[in-house]
Structure 1
Amino acid sequence: MARANGFIAQDTLVLGSVSGNKVAFPRILVGCAHETFGRFPSDSSGIIGLGQGSISLISQISSSVRGKFSYCFRQFPSNVNSILHFGENAVVSGDGAVSTTLVTNKDPKKKGNTVVDSAGTTFSMLPKDFYDKVESEVAANIELERSHDPFNYNLGLCCKSESYEMFPAPMITLHFNGHKADVILSPNNCFFRMSQSVVCFAFHSIPSGRVLIGNTQQVNVLVGYDLHNREIR
């Protein structure tokens, strides 16, 4: 787990727009860290909060962007930048778009058992009983020599593979509540290259709790949030 110590400051946030003009958001609360703990990439500039907390970035600018944002993560490493949109250009639509209800902790009448993490978690987390079944099924469909997690990230299924493009892994489908709300994950969404010769199943086992979908499973998938209408697609 990563954490940071620092100060809260207030500043004007300036973002680019599709029109080419700059858009300023005054009096935005930001955190300025002077001490960090955990895994923070040395070349990163910071972390954007897109959760439902009162001082997350999306909560602070929600009225200006009508509660809408979307993102598309690129494969790592890549020379192509990932995409983050706010407002009307964040709407996800067209063929292949599916949607499900976005449940908040403030709504006790709705049931939700999955958390979709927009940036902070690399690998997905599954309760142990469920994870064991998934790992067993995936391992049974992979004809590669087993290996070990070279960085001790506690990933249970690792294999030796020199060729990432031709990696013969099964497809996995995430089923969400909604009309045909299925998301098909490619092998690149399910396995993470840990080294030149080792790839690992990009899912963690946790003792219990909710399923958490990490950002590896969202690579090359356009994900949009509509906080006002409680929808994710």
Structure 2
Amino acid sequence: MALIVSLIFLIFSAVFAAPSNEYGFSVEMIHRDSPKSPMYNPSESHYHRLANTLRRSILLNKAVALLDTAEAPMFNDRGEYLVEVSLGTPPFPILAVADTGSDIVWTQCQPCPKCFEQTAPMFDPSKSSTYKIIPCSSPSCALAGQERSCSDRSECRYSISYGDGSHSNGDFAVDTLTMGSTSGRPVAFSRTMVGCGHDSGGTFSTNVSGIVGLGRGPASLVPQMGAASGGKFSYFPSVTVHFEGADVPLRRENVFVMVAENVVCLAFRGGDGQSISIYGNIAQINFIVGYDVTRNSVSFKPANCSAM
């Protein structure tokens, strides 16, 4: 019996850890193929979306292989996850690509004579009462990266490029960044270092306005949150297997397998597209699997098998 097996990665939520006696901070990360994403195309079938994902993966691997400099491996237009935060006072919503491979948080800003097209309104720093460009004499300017420079007015400027040839240049500033929280109340982080882009281009989608850098550098969003994040952040891979007629949500033990100390592998193997797909035993852990040979059907019921 041929079973058509595919994966979908649903909406991710990034949770920034806080001390145990306080609440944490959260921001919704939206998969590009989620109905909540501005990139969602309702006319595409599940198989079209899966094929597009595979193509993006192939392009990503090719681009990484070409890297021989310290450029951040960012694939913005084809980035899978978007994050929504707000910048400035009053808060201005921004939808940006979440990138663990780079550090700088930036968005396109007015005026923007050399910017890529974006459909959402563009951030105007002149309308934020908390926006301030960092002077070149400030130690914070050094965090703008190796390609930083100074303007004629001795104001700090950032310049960043990515593995796919995309780039962004502009003012390096501080402003208030606001995001949601697990308590339901918005949480504001004052004097967050951000890039205000006036020259950006590459393969960016028109639905995004910039990038939220989540790398390990000091200009990344995570260390800028200070004690509120404890230097840590996390997100979680919800994985569902699609059978004809039913879906089976998997647990962590069905998706990952530890093959050595501190080495964890994804418990899936790609097929050649020609042979039958095999639903392996790891995916069946802690499920009661029922077979109805009369109806030619199979059923899955979550269970704690060790307690049975």
Q: TM-score range by the shorter chain?
A: 0.3 to 0.5
Taking structure 2 as the reference length, what is the TM-score of the superposition? 0.29
Per the normalisation by structure 1, the TM-score is 0.36
| Structure number with larger C-alpha Rg | 2
